[in-house]
Amino acid sequence: MVKIFNNLNQFRFECPLEGWMRRIVVNTAIRACKKKKIHFREIHENVTDIPSFHPSIYGELGEEEILKIITQLPEGYKMVFNLYVIDGYSHEEIAIMLGIQEGTSRSQLAKARRLLQKLILERNKVMVA
């Protein structure tokens, strides 16, 4: 918020204020993550061990629970997932912002979704028990 306030004089009314602010927040977060040197590495998981479950499980989750589960993702997965699913960026835009290949963005998203399914299923097992 401080960065937005300090740069408010640079806003030119050429786009909506919300979009301009969002861009500052996203770019600031990406720069912070780059400083942390996040590596987009392969995490090998056996996808076949994720049993199928009824889609109604998703409806049983509250917003706080979903966000808590998303925070459990590895940094690279979480970043791509948030940029694509929550912020609505394309894989091409994500690749440019993060300095990765478009295919890396796609694979990180796919793996993030699989891991989220696994985490949701594990959470559901705990609640049922």
17 pLDDT above the threshold of 60 = yes
Q: What is the DSSP letter of 87?
A: S
**pLDDT of the residue at 57:** 52
Strand segments, DSSP code E, in 5-129 are none
More confident residue, 41 or 75: 75
Mean pLDDT value across residues 34-38: 66
* CATH number of the domain within which 73 lies: 1.10.10.10
Q: CA-CA distance, 79 to 51, in Å (whole number)?
A: 26
Q: Are residues 33 and 79 in the same domain?
A: no
Q: Are residues 28 and 49 in the same domain?
A: no
Q: 72-76, 105-109, 118-122: which has the minimum mean pLDDT?
A: 118-122
Planar angle of CA 123, 42, 84, nearest 5 degrees: 65
Q: Are residues 27 and 89 in the same domain?
A: no
The DSSP result for 101-113, as a single string, is -HHHHHHHHHHHH
Is 0.85 topped by the overall pTM?
Answer: no
Place of tokens 């969002």: 22
Q: CA-CA distance, 129 to 116, in Å (whole number)?
A: 20
Residue 1 belongs to domain spanning: 1-37
Q: Are residues 82 and 123 in the same domain?
A: yes
Q: CA-CA distance, 71 to 65, in Å (whole number)?
A: 10
Q: Are residues 7 and 59 in the same domain?
A: no
Using only C-alpha atoms, the chain has a radius of gyration, in whole angstroms, of 17
Mean pLDDT value across residues 97-103: 89
Q: Are residues 5 and 66 in the same domain?
A: no
